[in-house]
Amino acid sequence: MNKSLLATAGLVLATVPAFAATLVSSGYTDPLFLASAAGDSRLFVVEKAGVIKVVGQADPWLDISGKVDTGGERGLLGLAFDPNFSANGRFYVNYIDKTTLSTVVASYTLGADGKGDVNSERTILTVAQPAGRNNHKAGWIGFSAADPGNLYIATGDGGSGNDPDNNAQNLNSNLGKLLRVTPGSAATGGYTVPADNPFVGTAGNDEIWAYGLRNPFRNSFDRTTGDLWLADVGQGAREEVNFASAAAGLGRGANYGWRVREGSIATPGVGGPATPGMTDPLFDYGRDVGGTVIGGYVYRGGADASLEGKYVFGDFVSGGIWSYSGGTMTALDSPFAGFQLTSFGEGSDGALYAVGNGSVYLLAAAVPEPTSALLMALGLAAGCLLTRRRRA
């Protein structure tokens, strides 16, 4: 087993806030996520009931509430924009279907009004959920710049304490996993399995990329490196954050240990010694710090030097927000009380946001991209300077 790089006892807990959050927008109903598309300055807020709104606009951008079950931890749980969204207008959602109670990952395209066309849905993939259990649905989906064209899908173990069906360790189940597929076209939907997925041609479901997960509700890819940060909600003792670098294969075939392991320890009352090949988290923390980890992002906005290159995440139970770097968790100023923070989000420019309690907050801005006028002015200034030097 790979030794855990850090456990709570090895973490340095700093408590000096690094910034103050700024309220951007409010009035949302159960907001669970915020996303943006490359090259698009708009911020899209996902509401649990099945509605997506654009910050600053009152009317829904997409409303599929008639399809979505919202009991317990069900709902509209994930949103990802196609890497070519600016050209093809395609985006993807993850929700729990009201009729079947299964996880549905589907794509949509834009209508003539520039909003999501509810009639354009094409199912990419479904995952059956255990009957009568409404928790541990995860729901995050995303694309990595280091792996163009492949969609990553996080699934929870399906619910109830201690994964009673042992789904997370079962390679014949798509629950408790990170899946990786290549979506079919906007006309047909469906998917194909990349040939380099770890269980293609061997025992295990072909869609599985990594396994041993309990409830990886919020995850992210580093916009600069493509590295994967995967936060897995604990059972009753440890909250964990896993890291898989793009250079080392993005965690291909990794077993993150659940239900045998909870974070860096044996799952109390269920687990035991780690089996060969299990991967401990990059770091984990105990219930003295929080109780439900909310995964965030590596900040790459360039406007806050104190956060640049650091991973920012939080906790639902405590409402706390921290940055993490090199073994140190630094507490940041949080606008949330306990049981309010639900997600983080990233603008297309790299600005960092937090979502919860019906509101969107800016945590760290981004350095504005130079405008064409500014670039022209800089070019003229450089030309004048060069001319003066030649004359001199």
Domains of the chain, first to last: 8-391 (2.120.10.30)
For the chain, what is the mean pLDDT? 92
Residue 382, pLDDT above cutoff 60: no
Residue 374, pLDDT above cutoff 50: no
**How many CA atoms, within 13 angstroms, populate the side-chain half-sphere of residue 116?**
26
**Residue, of 8 and 228, whose pLDDT is higher:** 228
Residue 9, pLDDT above cutoff 70: no
Confidence (pTM): 0.92
In this predicted structure, what is the pLDDT of residue 53? 98
In this predicted structure, what is the pLDDT of residue 276? 87
Alpha-carbon distances, residue 137 vs 68, 132, 155, 193, 303 (angstroms)? 13, 13, 6, 22, 35
Confidence of residue 158 (pLDDT cuts 50, 70, 90): very high
Residue 17, pLDDT above cutoff 80: no
Query: How is residue 42 written in tokens?
Result: 């708009």
- The percentage of the chain sitting over the pLDDT mark of 70, rounded to a whole number, equals 90
